[in-house]
Structure formats: structure tokens, C-alpha cells
Amino acid sequence: MKLKSIVCGMIACSVIACGGGETERDSKTQPTIEHDLKARAVNAPSYVLTGTRDVSFPGAVRKVFQVRVDRQNTADVQFSKDDAIKVAAGVIAKNCFPPNPRVNAAAVHIQFHGRRADSVADYTVNWAPNGEWGNANTVRAGDYDTFKLLIDFEGVEINDQVEKAFPR
């Protein structure tokens, strides 16, 4: 009986020491995650948020952010995968933390300046549980502990071919 009370006492102390609630954990990790995203966005190419779409379904708040970047692939300047991650990190840091609504997943569609408005994204970067857009319903909105930035799509070559085939 003495062992049982010691174990119960240890569990009670652990719950008390840890705060015992999801809200407190969120309040500690959210600023750190937001800060990390802002740090990743340093030296990102300049961009403009051109649209936001809500593509939620029951049990998952999902947002798609459309941005247009000023830089594009040229002989002199290359827009890299790292640039895509930096832009996405900046968009998410500004739009997925309070006072904005919390999300279960976000995607950033990046399009180069000068592209046709109807062309596909040059890059799509997901910010979701383990980087997987389809895992949005596996976490509570705002529980960003397992979220990763992951390039899901590169349409740069497709867009280059389309614009050569169908010039303006």
C-alpha cells in the first residue's frame, strides 16, 4: 500500500509541476514556434500576399495563402527552394498566430512576378503536421508542435513550358 501512495504522489506532483493542461503548454510553445518561423524568414525575397482561401472541412481548419514574389528565375538570379521556405515561413508567422485564427494546416502557393494569373504555383509549401497537408485533422487547431515546412510542389518548369507555348 505504501508503494501505491508513493506512485500516486509522484504522479500528482508531476501533474502539478507541469501545469496539467494543454493551454499552458500551448502558451509556452507558440511564441517559440512563431519566433523560429520569423527567424527562418529573415532575408526572404520580398513578396505580396495576393489572396487567402479557407479550405477547411469539419475537424480541420485549413488555409491557403497565395503570394507573388518579386524575384524569379533568371540567368542572374535564381529563386531557390530555400527562398520558398523563407517566404512561406514569413507568411505563416504573420497569418497563423494570434490575433489570427489558429489552423490545423496551411499551404503557401508562391508565384513569380510576371507569371500569368492562371498559371499553377511555382512552389507550394505546406505547413502541417509532419509536413503533410492530409494530416490536418490529426491535431487540434493551434497545436503546432509537430508542424513542419515542406515543399510539396514545384511548378517552375511547367510554367516555363506553358509560357513558351502560349506567349501573351
Taking Cα atoms as reference points, which of 79, 16, 24 lies closest to residue 46? Answer: 79
| pTM of the model as a whole | 0.74
Q: Which of 48, 129, 141, 34 is nearest to 87 (CA)?
A: 48
The residue behind cell 529573415 is: 42
Could you tell me the residue ranges of all domains in the chain? 2-165
Distance CA 54, CA 136 (A): 13
Quote the CA–CA distance of 145 and 149 in Å, as a whole number.
Answer: 12
Which alpha helices (DSSP H) does the chain contain, by range? 2-18, 22-40, 81-95, 156-165
* Per-residue confidence (pLDDT) for residue 109, from 0 to 100: 93
**pLDDT in single tens digits along all 168 residues of the chain:** 444 444 344 333 333 333 333 333 444 466 788 999 999 898 888 899 999 999 999 999 999 999 999 866 555 567 889 999 999 999 999 999 999 999 999 999 998 887 776 777 889 999 999 999 999 999 999 999 999 999 988 876 665 666 666 665
CATH value of 2-165 in 1.20.58, 3.10.310, 3.90.1690, 1.10.390: 3.10.310
Peptide bond into 45 cis (omega under 30): no
Residue 67 · residue 49 · CB < 8 Å: yes
Model pLDDT, residue 80: 87
pLDDT at position 54, please? 96
